[in-house]
């Protein structure tokens, strides 16, 4: 827990409670941490890796809500646990993960008793709202091919191991549309395609 910026600002009593109650866990890539409609029992504070949170439509398609990474926790996870409410999205490990699993009972207690922890939680919501507002702007004002190219470049690696269907889930469209756009990129020399692999030129 020492890796989180808020930890050293907490009351000593709060620190002791967190350290005593937190369980260090490792989660392999591609694991579904929770599914849309689940009621989460614990809250994951991530120290390593990245998680994708998507909203699924009844037609089977999904759209990206946000990512969360080391030093963060998931707002959907927090809201579901804290309010004993169904999760409004599904969380999928994009990489191998490490973090601390903390019982919601303690989180609810700290949220009321420690202002520094409360500030951390609200800061997470502000950051998430800002990112989601940017996502809405992209969907509203950017073409799908521009959004796809931007997403590819944002991965910060030349070789991306992912299926066209997974990209479709992230960008809120079908596998067929993503495949067509990627083939267009390939003809222009922007990418090279193979099974579950996209190499950026």
Q: Give residue 24's pLDDT.
A: 95
Of the ranges 2-11, 43-52, 148-157, the best mean pLDDT one: 43-52
**How much is the pTM?**
0.71
Q: Give the C-alpha separation, 181 to 150, whole Å.
A: 13
Could you tell me which CATH class the domain 7-140 is placed in? mainly beta
Q: Give residue 61's pLDDT.
A: 74
Question: For 74-95, what is the mean pLDDT?
Answer: 92
Q: In this predicted structure, which of 11-20, 53-62, 106-115 has the lowest mean pLDDT?
A: 53-62
Tokens of 59: 């037609």
Question: For 5-11, what is the mean pLDDT?
Answer: 89
Band of the pLDDT at 85, cuts 50, 70, 90? very high
In tens, the pLDDT along 155-174 reads 878 899 888 988 888 887 88
Tell the CATH topology of 142-200.
Arc Repressor Mutant, subunit A (1.10.10)
DSSP conformation letters of 106-169? HHHHHHHH-HHHHHHHHHHHHHHHHHHHHHHHHHHHS-HHHHHHHHHHHT-SSEE---HHHHHH
Q: Give residue 116's pLDDT.
A: 92
**Do the domains 7-140 and 142-200 sit in the same CATH topology, yes or no?**
no
3-state secondary structure at position 200: strand
| Domain assignments of the chain as residue spans, ordered by start | 7-140, 142-200
Q: Give residue 102's pLDDT.
A: 93
Q: Give residue 97's pLDDT.
A: 96
Strand arrangement of the beta sheet that strand 97-103 belongs to: 23-27, 97-103, 42-48
């Amino acid at each position: 827990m020492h890796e989180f910026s808020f930890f050293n600002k907490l009351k000593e009593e709060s620190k002791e409670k967190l350290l005593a109650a937190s369980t260090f866990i490792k989660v392999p890539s591609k694991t579904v941490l929770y599914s849309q409609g689940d009621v989460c029992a614990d809250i994951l504070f991530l120290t390593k890796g990245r998680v994708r949170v998507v909203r699924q439509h009844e037609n089977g398609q999904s759209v990206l809500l946000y990512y969360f990474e080391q030093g963060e926790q998931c707002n959907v996870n927090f809201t579901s646990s804290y309010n004993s409410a169904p999760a409004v999205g599904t969380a999928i490990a994009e990489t191998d993960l490490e973090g601390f699993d903390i019982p919601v009972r303690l989180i609810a207690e700290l949220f009321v008793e420690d202002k520094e922890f409360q500030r951390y939680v609200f800061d997470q919501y502000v950051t998430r709202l800002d990112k989601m507002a940017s996502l809405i702007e992209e969907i509203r004002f950017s073409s799908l091919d521009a959004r796809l190219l931007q997403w590819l470049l944002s991965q910060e690696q030349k070789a991306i191991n992912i299926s066209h269907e997974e990209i479709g889930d992230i960008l809120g469209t079908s596998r067929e549309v993503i495949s067509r756009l990627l083939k267009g990129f390939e003809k222009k020399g922007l990418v090279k395609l193979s099974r579950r692999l996209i190499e950026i030129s």
